[in-house]
Amino acid sequence: TQLLEQSPQFLSIQEGENLTVYCNSSSVFSSLQWYRQEPGEGPVLLVTVVTGGEVKKLKRLTFQFGDARKDSSLHITAAQPGDTGLYLCAGGDSGTYKYIFGTGTRLKVLA
């Protein structure tokens, strides 16, 4: 059974601080997605990474896919209250149509 573990589960920080969220698995994925979800809404895709070692930047967010395609990280620089939300990673398997989701990291950025 494929599992994706996210850490930390909860994170409360002050505006302007940096943070990193981790997504780890013992399985290899063909792709990995990061989503952000706000209360009462569905997850919204932030990025997809497909190549081992790949780094993508989205303004203050930096995403990295591990060399072995088993793990990923999300780094936020100078967090803002608007970054508050639930961050989810999801691993895709090219052999099936399925995705495996991590349990999520709930981030709160205090002004």
Partner 1 sequence: DAGITQSPRHKVTETGTPVTLRCHQTENHRYMYWYRQDPGHGLRLIHYSYGVKDTDKGEVSDGYSVSRSKTEDFLLTLESATSSQTSVYFCAIRPGLAGNEQFFGPGTRLTVL
- 48 C-beta neighbours (distance < 10 Å), count: 15
Could you say whether residue 79 binds partner 1 (CB under 8 A)?
no
Could you say whether residue 78 binds partner 1 (CB under 8 A)?
no
- The two beta strands, 85-92 and 31-37, are antiparallel
Cα–Cα distance for residue pair 73/39, rounded to 1 Å: 23
User: Least distance to partner 1 from the beta carbon of 41, Å?
Assistant: 6
Cα–Cα distance for residue pair 53/61, rounded to 1 Å: 16
Could you say whether residue 62 binds partner 1 (CB under 8 A)?
no
- Among residues 13, 22, 50, 56, the one that binds partner 1 under rule CB under 8 A: 50
What letter would DSSP give residue 60?
Answer: T
Interacting residues toward partner 1 by CB under 8 A? 30-31, 33, 35, 40-45, 48, 50, 88, 90, 92, 94, 97-99, 101-104
